[in-house]
Structure 1
């Protein structure tokens, strides 16, 4: 057993009743943190809390809707009331309503954007206000926010336009929040995990087969627990110099995803004529990096 990096710290994990969120909650508890296990399904959250307590840890249930403004505020209040403080917020809650864009309903769009993107913002905003108040009172936090984006948000995913848009927004929100909250002692990073969850197993036979656990007992690269060590480290005091970054995690592989940045360019020094731009665009695209392919594109 390695050194516990989060001994005595207090963490909120949203969407922690199952899958990746459950793995995060268990990992933080094993690392010495006290955990608020948030899930809209209170029974599922309760089962995770029982598992943590049975292992000698400390945890409480919260069943707030993270995308409800007052519910997100109560979630932060729960951590402070039950454990006296809040150090770590892990935004993980979400679900999918997959459909091609030309078939997607307004409700399917709104529901996914609400839970993923607003659900990240609402909790982040209330936690950020708590830490800002601490900082202004002279008690500078060493706080951490870990958001959950996705490869779909970084590269696109056919049939998941609502989900991809929400996750892209979360990646941008991470960079924005890192810049705004850094002065209050808060770092903000994101992960884009690949793991076996209820969402991925419901995404079709091909995806389910890819995500299935190996029958031979070899390393299970899609085990959700593989994602949690990086999240636990990002929640710790050790990670204080890392902020505004997005990490992809799959199995034993961790990589940094670089966001939008300028690459090739052409500057005329005056206004372009539309008729001039064909060869100019062709030239700069030839010099620019090739984009990652959209998941599911032919």
Structure 2
């Protein structure tokens, strides 16, 4: 399979594409032949405003390599901003094939110290910032399907290990990322009739968002050594999932780190006790403890004391 033609002819929107993982995704799609709408607000790691225009810089990199790119500074978590993402792609390139939801920031606090505004801000940019672009993109693809122009569309969402296992000091972020995982499963089921596949990514990479969380453990390797934490290691899976080569793969969660790709296995019923009638609270201790003894122990929360 030729990497340079894997996404040829496709139009891809990448949110949060000015730096880190989003930038790596945008450049990788361009190398694979896609036309890319580079979306970024240019904010600081905590979501506060910044003066830089990283989206324009990434679009310039793509054009300098002979690719096609446009820039969007729309807020993906705002209804009109999310709608404009779709309209801009259609106006500039005439179509939309793949949406990569990647925008996000951190405001870490222990739960007892977490301000409501920091909760709302993180939930907004991550969870709402996934829902609204998906809603507007899917509305376009539904209209295309009803008009007899069957889409072969893709959505790649961005979850996190914190969303699957939890992370101490990141209750807001973990809740948002867990919500994205569930949202992905629902979207995959609902959008299938319109020719849309929806999957989620759990990336592990060195970015502005992770450098503080993993301080001291994510240093770049010596020259010439494989950098396991480079954002560029994650992007090949995103390009694959965003291309037609991933036909039939939907409603799944993948982890990408270094040279490893894993399929994540979510909640499943592990063990059951059925009395056949209503339980009395006083008789549940024995059955519950027996069920737990038959079930795998949960993986530890990131940052929890061992």
Is the pair's TM-score, using the shorter chain for normalization, greater than 0.5?
yes
**Matches for 1:2-41 after TM superposition, within 5 Å:** 2-41=3-42
**Matches for 1:87-126 after TM superposition, within 5 Å:** 87-126=97-136
Q: Which runs of 5+ in 2 are unaligned?
A: 43-51
**Matches for 1:1-298 after TM superposition, within 5 Å:** 2-41=3-42, 43-203=53-213, 207-298=214-305
Over 3 Å off, 4+ runs? none
User: CA–CA distance in 2 between the matches of 1:9 and 1:216?
Assistant: 35
Q: Secondary structure at the match of 1:193?
A: strand
Measure how far apart 1:276 and its partner are.
Answer: 0.9
Worse overlay, 283-292 or 192-201: 283-292
RMSD of aligned Cα (Å): 0.9
| Structure 1 residues 2 and 123, CA gap change in structure 2 (3 angstroms) | closer
CA contact (8 A) 2:234 2:256 kept: yes
The answer for the alignment partner of 2:47 in structure 1 is none
User: CA–CA distance in 1 between the matches of 2:29 and 2:148?
Assistant: 28
Q: Secondary structure at the match of 2:206?
A: coil
Q: TM-score, normalised by structure 2?
A: 0.95
User: CA–CA distance in 2 between the matches of 1:187 and 1:101?
Assistant: 35
CA contact (8 A) 2:4 2:33 kept: no
User: CA–CA distance in 2 between the matches of 1:260 and 1:81?
Assistant: 41
CA contact (8 A) 2:4 2:31 kept: no
User: CA–CA distance in 1 between the matches of 2:3 and 2:183?
Assistant: 33
User: CA–CA distance in 2 between the matches of 1:159 and 1:2?
Assistant: 39
Q: Secondary structure at the match of 2:5?
A: coil
User: CA–CA distance in 2 between the matches of 1:188 and 1:2?
Assistant: 21
User: CA–CA distance in 1 between the matches of 2:101 and 2:271?
Assistant: 35
Measure how far apart 1:166 and its partner are.
Answer: 0.2
Measure how far apart 1:216 and its partner are.
Answer: 4.3
User: CA–CA distance in 2 between the matches of 1:254 and 1:119?
Assistant: 25
| Structure 1 residues 212 and 76, CA gap change in structure 2 (3 angstroms) | same
User: CA–CA distance in 2 between the matches of 1:96 and 1:80?
Assistant: 31
| Structure 1 residues 123 and 2, CA gap change in structure 2 (3 angstroms) | closer
User: CA–CA distance in 2 between the matches of 1:78 and 1:2?
Assistant: 26
Q: Secondary structure at the match of 1:200?
A: coil
Deviations 1:163-205, CA, capped at 9 Å, x for gaps? 00000000000000000000100000000100000011122xx
User: CA–CA distance in 1 between the matches of 2:247 and 2:120?
Assistant: 35
User: CA–CA distance in 2 between the matches of 1:130 and 1:210?
Assistant: 43
When you count helix as a share of all residues, which structure comes out higher?
1
User: CA–CA distance in 2 between the matches of 1:291 and 1:131?
Assistant: 39
Number of matched pairs: 295
